[in-house]
Chains A and B, each alone.
Chain A
Amino acid sequence: QQQVKQSPQSLIVQKGGISIINCAYENTAFDYFPWYQQFPGKGPALLIAIRPDVSEKKEGRFTISFNKSAKQFSLHIMDSQPGDSATYFCAASRSGSARQLTFGSGTQLTVLP
């Protein structure tokens, strides 16, 4: 019940296109869902996060869509740029567990120029 399943494993998008990465979780106690961006040799950087009391959150070109009933959430990157090429991780946490993050397996995004 602690797993977060992420898909696809890799994604290739043309410059200007929309990148969509999906995650699903089982533990209904999760109440915080962040997305991280990681470049090779670097630590994960917090991109955007959502709580289950809203269905969508947008920050610039990045949008999280959240479906509580389906226990799914997704990251949409609008107008994808070559500089967005990185590995993206979804994660989840809950209260009572010191807010430890449970991560998905990652999606390697390549944006072609």
Chain B
Amino acid sequence: DAGVTQSPTHLIKTRGQQVTLRCSPKSGHDTVSWYQQALGQGPQFIFQYYEEEERQRGNFPDRFSGHQFPNYSSELNVNALLLGDSALYLCASSLVGGGYEQYFGPGTRLTVT
């Protein structure tokens, strides 16, 4: 049973650039949530996708956008990168109606220089 997978593992970008991160949910799951984890802090909720639509959004600017595909995989896009966007980006999957558990992937480490 495949767990949550994310790609790439690491990424280095320059200020002002755009980045796309990818996530495949755990087998059988239909919902994907994205979190940002700054160094030494707890993860912060960015948004959640279900049925290919953004279902809920945290306190993040519009530079952060996403997409969910019919196979439930998801992308996180960040435009106009800032130094402060450097963080570990985590994807978590869950199943609507299947309980409250969210399972996290290994994350993508984004460094903005």
Contacts and interface: CB of A to CB of B under 8 A. Distances in A.
B25 to A, nearest CB: 13
Contacts of B105: 43
A89 B100 CA distance: 17
Interface string A1-28: 0000010000000000000000000000
A87 to B, nearest CB: 9
A44 B90 contact: yes
Interface string B38-64: 001111110010100001101000000
Interface string A79-112: 0000000000101010001111111111000000
A100 B42 contact: no
B contact residues, range: 20 to 34
Interface in A39-71: 41-46, 49
Interface string B12-51: 0000000000000000000001010000111111001010
Contacts of A100: 33, 45, 48, 56, 58
Interface of A: 6, 32, 34, 36, 41-46, 49, 89, 91, 93, 97-106
